[in-house]
């Protein structure tokens, strides 16, 4: 949309959440994914694994390496990841395009195994994870990104259950970010064009 300012035309930029900043990758993620309801098990798995890899790093770092992760982890094929061999793990450890953390790579395999077990029990991971809110999105409208909590009672409950089921790198802070990523929690701020 164009609008006139002092006789000239300028692009009307949408207002976004305060954490977005000017990086195009962040803007694209915010505008098209963050807080958007996700039900596809493959995508739910991808985001869960990426959130685990993000621990101790910035989300922007993960987003910049996202395509490399997709290639390195068999286009997020859960079964292939669950069967990672030592040789494949070593290959991943040498891949400069991803985060080369043995603990996080091992966690991806362990979490794939646990993810498969949840699919067997519930029919899908989607049914399991969205069951915590009876399929409802929780909507918050904070005035500042600084007001958005790092965790909640919901993320603590889900984190405990995931750990009980064998998941690692799924503490309540990671889980809260995950719930935002899959649209279970919509924390778009007041004034954001996505709110």
* Residues assigned a catalytic role: 29, 51, 59
Give the residue from 157, 153, 143, 150 showing the smallest Cα distance to 192: 143
As a whole number of angstroms, the distance between CA 161 and CA 183 comes to: 19
Phi, psi for residue 9 in degrees, rounded to 5: -95, 140
- The C-alpha angle with vertex 172 and arms to 161 and 37, in degrees rounded to 5, equals 85
**Residue partners of 189: CB distance under 8 A and separation at least 6:** 17, 18, 141, 142, 143, 144, 145, 148, 195
């Amino acid at each position: 949309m164009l609008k006139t300012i002092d006789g000239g035309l300028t692009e009307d930029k949408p207002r976004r959440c305060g954490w977005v900043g000017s990086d195009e990758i962040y803007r694209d993620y915010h505008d098209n994914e963050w807080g958007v309801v996700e039900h596809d098990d493959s995508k739910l798995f991808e985001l869960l694994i990426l959130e685990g890899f993000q621990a101790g790093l910035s989300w922007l770092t993960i987003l910049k390496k996202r395509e490399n992760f997709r290639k390195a982890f068999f286009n997020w094929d859960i079964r292939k990841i669950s069967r990672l061999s030592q040789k494949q793990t070593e290959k991943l450890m040498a891949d400069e395009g991803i985060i080369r953390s043995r603990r996080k790579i091992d966690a991806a395999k362990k979490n794939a195994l646990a993810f498969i077990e949840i699919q067997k029990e519930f029919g899908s991971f989607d049914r399991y994870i969205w069951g915590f809110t009876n399929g409802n999105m929780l909507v918050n409208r904070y005035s500042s990104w600084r007001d958005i909590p790092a965790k909640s009672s919901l993320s603590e409950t889900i984190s405990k259950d995931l750990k009980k089921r064998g998941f690692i790198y799924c503490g309540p802070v990671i889980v809260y970010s995950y719930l935002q990523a899959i649209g279970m929690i919509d924390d778009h701020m007041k004034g954001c064009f996505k709110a």
